[in-house]
């Protein structure tokens, strides 16, 4: 992914650091890796963002931001990847994690009809929370690890590919000149 394009899309670090509602974080937001696009910070961002995308909890972005600050991941990518679980993808993602949890716990899958009420949600959650949480944790660990390793491998492939292109270009320039 082109670094220049991503840098244009990301917020300016100084404007984020000076935002009045974030002043309580003080010097934590001044860590350079929170804003740099390098192999370590981006792969850590994938680790954090994908992990919290699979955790069924409110304020996933806040949790991803806090974890990102502490492990020095790229903050915009960490927060942005949490949106893998958005209002359109939450039902299939968490149904999948629930199914994984039922397989791990060897419990039968419950059939239920969706009703849009808080009472229904709390009642259903009280009966499915164990397989949902276990499946979510397992999927969060597995998929975030895949994202972490995948980005590191992709980054390495991209760098080596660029090295080879530059070497070939230099070789062509020497033979032409």
Domain segments of the chain: what residues?
3-170
Q: What is the DSSP letter of 100?
A: H
Alpha carbon separation from 159 to 53, 156, 162 (Å, rounded): 28, 5, 5
List the pLDDT tens digit at each of the 177 positions of the chain.
566 666 666 666 665 555 555 555 666 666 767 777 889 999 999 999 999 999 999 999 989 988 998 898 998 899 999 999 998 999 899 999 999 999 999 888 877 776 777 787 778 888 888 999 999 999 999 999 999 999 999 999 988 998 999 988 888 888 876
Q: How many CA atoms lie within 13 A of 171 on its CB side?
A: 6
Scanning 54-117, the segments in alpha helix (DSSP H) are 60-71, 75-81, 90-105
């Amino acid at each position: 992914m082109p670094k220049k394009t991503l840098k244009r899309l990301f917020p300016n670090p100084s404007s984020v650091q000076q935002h009045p509602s974030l002043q309580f974080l003080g010097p934590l937001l001044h860590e350079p890796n929170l804003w740099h696009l390098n192999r370590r910070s981006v792969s850590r961002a994938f680790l954090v963002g994908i992990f919290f995308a699979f955790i069924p909890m409110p304020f996933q972005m806040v949790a991803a931001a806090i974890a990102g600050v502490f492990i020095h991941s790229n903050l915009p990518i960490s927060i942005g990847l949490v949106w893998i679980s958005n209002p359109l993808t939450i039902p299939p993602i968490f149904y999948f994690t629930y199914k994984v949890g039922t397989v791990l716990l060897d419990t039968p899958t419950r059939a239920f009809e969706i009703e849009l009420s808080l009472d229904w949600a709390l009642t259903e959650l009280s009966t499915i929370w164990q397989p949902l949480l276990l499946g979510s944790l397992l999927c969060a660990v597995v998929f975030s690890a895949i994202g972490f390793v995948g980005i590191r491998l992709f980054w390495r492939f991209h760098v080596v590919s660029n090295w080879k292109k530059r070497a070939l270009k230099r070789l062509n320039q020497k033979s032409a000149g």
